[in-house]
Amino acid sequence: MHFVIIPSGAERVCSETSPWAIDGEPDFERRRASMKGLASTSQVMTALERGIEGGGISRGQALLLIEHAELSSLLRAAAAVRDRSKGRTVSYSKKVFIPLTHLCRDYCGYCTFRADPAADGQPFMTSQEVLAVAEAGRRAGCKEALFSLGDQPEAIFPEARAFLRKQGFERTLEYLAAMGQLVLDQTGLLPHSNPGLMPAVDLRRLKESNVSLGLMLEGASPRLWRAGGPHWKAPDKVPSLRLQTIEDAGRLSIAFTTGILVGIGETAEERVDSLLAIRDLHEKYGHIQEVIVQPFRAKPGTRMALAPEPSTEDLQRTLAVARLIFSREMNIQSPPNLLSGDYLLLLEAGINDWGGISPITKDFINPEAAWPQISLLAEKTAGAGFVLRERLAIYPEFSSRPGFVDARVQSCLQKLHGEGGYARN
């Protein structure tokens, strides 16, 4: 029997497979266990050798490795490729989190960030509030202003339309561009926005104030979008639309952050195919600055409150295969706060970036998971044999690449730029 979502919240109907195994697909762990023994050791060894060469692996090899490789061999291969290209440096960005609006027209099954309009609340942060948070971030040494927000709330909420109209805008993305410009001009922080789907006209406008932009692909499988799935009632999570935004960003030479969400009901093949879809676009445009591999975390009060979370091994396997798929140049990131005390295990799987860490604001997307203190992160990273370095919201390899940084952003970028393209101390 397939799972059924009870809209009122955290209930589920018992099923023979995981409730998040859509259309009867067994979940990732069970599928891997059932496939054990079907691949020959020599095929797996060949795939590992190809991966260690660092030039990228094929779809077939990625599938073999994610499902059949012995974990320690897979991790060693990914770590070796990372060490050869990135050395023992792990980066992070000191950021302040600006949740411009929690209103969103989508209803993703795992999200606690989104909200419908409340009688006593305003739909968006005002420009004064935005500046106050950004300024507090600047004083705390942040260099990135991360704008995170719901997707196109004006499409369904009159409250959003009324607020925007009062400020002289029709659309959230126009207001976002104005707030990014304000923060850049008034504080010198480098904006990085993550507003959901962005048509080309908005990408172009946002590039005038943002040093980079982001949109998680999450998953390339349309299956996740079907009724009852994690992306049910989320029109902005149609994979082809998200791939279109990522492609448009490539055409416009925008340093772009994307990635996948692990454990929301996708199969191993779909996970690999999502990574390959990102690789295809990067091979075409060369604009993906980092790939995030983020584990799903079940949150009370959501439709997926009782859905199983991916295991640490599952996450490590996916990260390691991502490292081998993307070869040596790509920055691979996984956030430390989602693995609690075990986050050093992520380093074993070939990552070279911890993502954005805020010394003053919480992780609004995962409010239950506090970021580690930066000093503690540095200490633990060093204990594992790595050096923690602060980067900017644009990675060193993109910040001096012709055409990637708008002239209006350049002067602020130069002030924050330090040795090797990392953040100035």
- Interacting residues with ligand SF4 (CB under 6 A): 104, 106-108, 111, 113-114, 150-151, 196, 234, 236
Q: What is d(CA 77, CA 5) in angstroms, rounded to the nearest whole number?
A: 40
Nearer to ligand SF4, 237 or 391 (CB): 237
Tell me which long-range contacts 407-416 makes (C-beta under 8 A, separation of at least 24): 408/184, 408/208, 408/209, 409/184, 409/190, 409/208, 409/209, 409/210, 409/211, 412/184, 412/188, 412/189, 412/190, 413/190, 413/211, 415/188, 416/143, 416/188, 416/190, 416/392
Nearer to ligand SF4, 102 or 271 (CB): 102
Q: Please check whether residue 320 is in contact with residue 362, taking contact to mean a CB–CB distance below 8 angstroms.
A: no
138 SS3 class: helix
Q: Which helix (H) or strand (E) holds 422?
A: none
For the CB of residue 121, give the shortest distance to ligand SF4 in the complex, in Å: 16
For the CB of residue 106, give the shortest distance to ligand SF4 in the complex, in Å: 4
Nearer to ligand SF4, 86 or 114 (CB): 114
For the CB of residue 109, give the shortest distance to ligand SF4 in the complex, in Å: 9
Q: What is d(CA 172, CA 240) in angstroms, rounded to the nearest whole number?
A: 22
Nearer to ligand SF4, 141 or 235 (CB): 235
For the CB of residue 150, give the shortest distance to ligand SF4 in the complex, in Å: 4
Q: What is d(CA 359, CA 84) in angstroms, rounded to the nearest whole number?
A: 31
Nearer to ligand SF4, 67 or 218 (CB): 218
CA angle 17, 21, 23 (to 5 degrees): 100
For the CB of residue 214, give the shortest distance to ligand SF4 in the complex, in Å: 12
For the CB of residue 242, give the shortest distance to ligand SF4 in the complex, in Å: 10
For the CB of residue 173, give the shortest distance to ligand SF4 in the complex, in Å: 14
CA distances from 262 to 135, 273, 319 (A): 34, 13, 10
Amino acid at 116: D
Q: What is d(CA 241, CA 261) in angstroms, rounded to the nearest whole number?
A: 17
For the CB of residue 37, give the shortest distance to ligand SF4 in the complex, in Å: 38
Nearer to ligand SF4, 54 or 196 (CB): 196
Residue 294 has φ and ψ, to the nearest 5°, of -115, 130
Nearer to ligand SF4, 195 or 396 (CB): 195
* 46 CA to centre of own chain: 31
Nearer to ligand SF4, 219 or 396 (CB): 219
